[in-house]
A and B are shown apart, each in its own frame.
Chain A
Amino acid sequence: MSLIEINNLTKKYKSANESVLAVNDISLSIGQNEFVTLLGQSGSGKSTLLTMLGGLAEPTSGNIVVDGINIYELPSKSIADYRREYIGFVFQSFQLIPYLTVEENIFLPLSISDLTNPEQKQLVNQILEKVHLEKKGKRLINELSGGEQQRVAIARALVNDPLIILADEPTGNLDSKTSEEIMKIFCEFNDAEKTIVMVTHNTGFKKYSHRSIELSDGRLIN
């Protein structure tokens, strides 16, 4: 059985004068440890699909089953717990908290766990090493380059060891050399058994993934 099952998923955004069918009846399954890239023009519904996968936005119809759990049937508290246990988000614009240091940003998912401070500290140090930021833990976010900030975001997404990484154009704000470095890090984590769904504009990155899916007007093509 696959890790993620998406069944007839639809998301309609309603505003005062128009309604947009951002995701239109998508069905898809993604296996354990698979690396999937999600392509498509701007406005094709990639981000919407990803946030629904991550338990951040309720679908208009259809459902998502992850690890046997129909996530939108859970009470809202449990959806939050699902996000914490299963999902690591990485965004195009990093989404780090500016008044926290590199370390403190990575601590975030652990701060609501039962782990003691030394246990938390150990996890943070391990992950900092994996993204090659072990010397910059005490820096504030705005003292880092874009590539470094994205590595902090990746570290934060992975520090509590989730099964799935959802990345929305993680290299969209980075130059090509830095982008390649980031892709390498994703590959390393994929080798370490993480399932990855990554939105990208860069067709060149297809090569890193096992499978590539394209969206257009909220529908899958081919």
Chain B
Amino acid sequence: MKLYNISLQSLRRRKAKTFFLIIGLILSVASVVTLLTVSKNVNQSIAANLDEFGANIIITPKTDDISINYAGMSINNVSYNNNELHTNDVEKIRTIKNKDNISIVAPKLLSVEIINPANGTGDKNVLITGVRFNDEIRLKKWWNVTGKIPSKGNEVLIGSEVKKKLGLKLNEWLKIRDNDFIVSGILDATGSQEDVMIFMDLNESQKLLDKKDKVSLIEVAALCYDCPIEEIVQQTSSVLPGANVTPIKQTIESKMTAMHRFEHFSFGISAVILIISMLIVFTNVNASVTERTKEIGIFLAVGFRKSHVMQIILFEVITASLLAALIGYVIGFLASRFIIPVLTMDESTRIVYDYSLMIFSVGFSLAVGFIASIYPAVKATRLDPTTAFRSL
């Protein structure tokens, strides 16, 4: 027989004690792993949703004029277009170092044009915007469209004010620069300048306005959860030297505040769970000090050194803690797979597992196990062994 056999028998035969020690540790490890995985994933999902909710970076051509800004959309270049952006600038944005953080890139071509509706309401000046609809609807998550988003070159989407002023209805025709377009969709009122715009396909607008490959501005939604927006802005500026890259500070800051609030909340809960579960382990282990004292007295009486006694106890703690860490990690891992889709309300979420949590689990479990078991053991070895025998 070797010393570790004694530890193993102690774990194996004192089932209730082992059970409570391991369950306490499993609960702590599992809940912390679950909480950290869930909060990381939910944070990321919320951050991504927030970041994709409208643009947080606007790219405009450099100009000497004071820019004309309206609700975050710079339209200074509508009339002064000597220093324009190009379609291939859009691709350049996707080449920056932090390209994985670039979620949506939505280029636009703006121009004020005379509209001539087929219903005979009369000509009106309206802001025409060429967009890539696929990108645009991802960025404008608040859009509500009656009818459908244009999918053909001659289809347009009109704002609610345009509809009112021009008396246009779905599937009615209108003329811009002598070309015919049909209204395929009407945008519900958004309260922004979008209400007074007509949207069409970007390529189509470039042809129509005779601005091949030209772009007036680019809206970008960058995921800035794990990368500061300043870096993305700086990287983008260096690939687009002729452009002004401006972060929309106000939007970013309010999103960040929301995120941090959520993070603090989940760290707070983690801390509380940690303390509670440590208390469970401590109370359980401390209750067995008397038992330990008697046992240690016996070990010393048969000639064990204190170091032998410590070896037995350490082996016991390490075995129990490693077992608990493993089980706790697996439970936490499985639990987060159930919880994350519910919280993010997205079944398809690809869960990001942080494998360093495994190392954390082992370390954490060992630490709690050690602190909880070593204290009573040291207390017991300090006692005069005769005291243990006297009480019996």
A interface residue numbers (CB < 8 A to B): 47-48, 51, 54, 56-57, 76-77, 80-81, 83-85, 87, 89, 91, 93, 95-97, 99-100, 104, 107-112, 117, 120, 140, 156, 160, 168
Q: How far is the CA of A42 from the CA of B2 in the complex (A)?
A: 39
Task: State whether A83 touches B300 (Cβ < 8 A).
Answer: yes
Majority secondary structure of chain B interface residues (helix, strand, loop or mixed): helix
B121 to chain A, nearest CB (A): 94
Contacts of B1 in A (CB 8 A): 104, 107-108, 110-111, 117, 120
Q: Is B390 an interface residue (CB 8 A)?
A: yes
Contacts of A85 in B (CB 8 A): 303
Given contacts A100-B9, A104-B1, A120-B1, 7 further A-B contacts (CB under 8 A): A47-B390, A56-B300, A77-B305, A91-B301, A91-B392, A99-B10, A108-B298
Q: Does residue B72 face the partner (Cβ distance < 8 Å to A)?
A: no
- Which of A80, A89, A93 has the most chain B CB atoms inside 10 A of its CB? A80
Q: Which B residues are within 8 Å of any A CB, using their own CB? A: 1-3, 5-6, 9-10, 12-14, 294-295, 297-308, 384-386, 389-390, 392
Q: What CA separation (Å) do A176 and B14 show in the bound complex?
A: 34
Are A93 and B303 in contact, with the CB atoms below 8 A? no
Contacts of B6 in A (CB 8 A): 97, 100, 104, 108, 111
CA A80 to CA B305, docked complex, whole Å: 5
Least CB separation from A94: chain B residue: B392
Does B303 lie within 8 Å of A99, measured CB to CB?
Answer: no
In the complex, the number of residue pairs spanning A and B with C-beta atoms less than 8 Å apart equals: 91
CA distance A219 to B132 in the complex (A): 105
Taking CB atoms, residues of chain B closer than 8 Å to A110 are: 1
Contact of A109 with B9 in the complex, beta carbons under 8 Å: no
Other-chain contact of A99, B9, B302, B306, B386 (Cβ < 8 Å)? B9
Closest to A160 in B: B303
Q: In the complex the two chains form, is B5's CB within 8 Å of A111's CB?
A: yes
B298: chain A residues at CB < 8 Å are 95-97, 108
* CB proximity of B259 to chain A, nearest CB, Å: 52
Whole-angstrom distance between the Cβ of B308 and the nearest chain A Cβ? 5
Name the residue on B nearest A57 (C-beta).
B386
B3–A112 CB distance below 8 A:
yes
CA A56 to CA B13, docked complex, whole Å = 28
Known: A97-B295, A100-B9. A108 touches B386 (CB 8 A): no
B139 nearest CB across to chain A (Å): 67
B384 proximity list for chain A (CB < 8 A): 56-57
Nearest opposing residue in chain B for A107, CB measure: B1
Residue of B nearest to A110 (CB): B1
- Measured between beta carbons, the chain B residues less than 8 angstroms from A54 are 301
Most chain A beta-carbon neighbours within 10 Å: one of B1, B9, B298: B1
Residues of A near B386 (CB, < 8 A) are 47-48, 51, 56-57
When A100-B6, A104-B9, A117-B1 are in contact, do A87 and B303 touch as well, CB less than 8 Å? Answer: yes
Residues of A near B299 (CB, < 8 A) are 108
With a cutoff of 8 Å between Cβ atoms, the chain B residues found around residue A51 in the complex are 385-386, 389
- A51-B386, A57-B384, A95-B389 are contacts. A89–B5 as well, Cβ < 8 Å? no
B390: chain A residues within 8 A (beta carbon): 47
CB of B306 within 8 A of CB of A56, answer no
Known A-B contacts A56-B300, A57-B384; the reply to A99 vs B392 at CB < 8 A is no
Can you list the 7 inter-chain pairs with the closest CB atoms, starting with the nearest?
A: A84-B303, A99-B13, A107-B1, A83-B303, A80-B305, A111-B1, A109-B302
Given A57-B384, A100-B6, A104-B5, A89 and B302 touching (CB < 8 A)? Answer: yes
5 A-B contact pairs sorted by A residue (CB < 8 Å): A83-B302, A93-B392, A95-B297, A104-B1, A111-B1
Decide yes or no: A80 and B300 within 8 Å by CB, A56-B385, A111-B6 being known contacts: yes
A85 to B386, CA, bound (A): 20
Closest to B298 in A: A95
CB-CB nearest in chain B for A162: B303
Cα A112 to Cα B2 in complex, Å, equals 7
Chain B's closest residue to A120 (CB) is B1
Give A120 to B2 CA distance when docked, in angstroms. Answer: 10
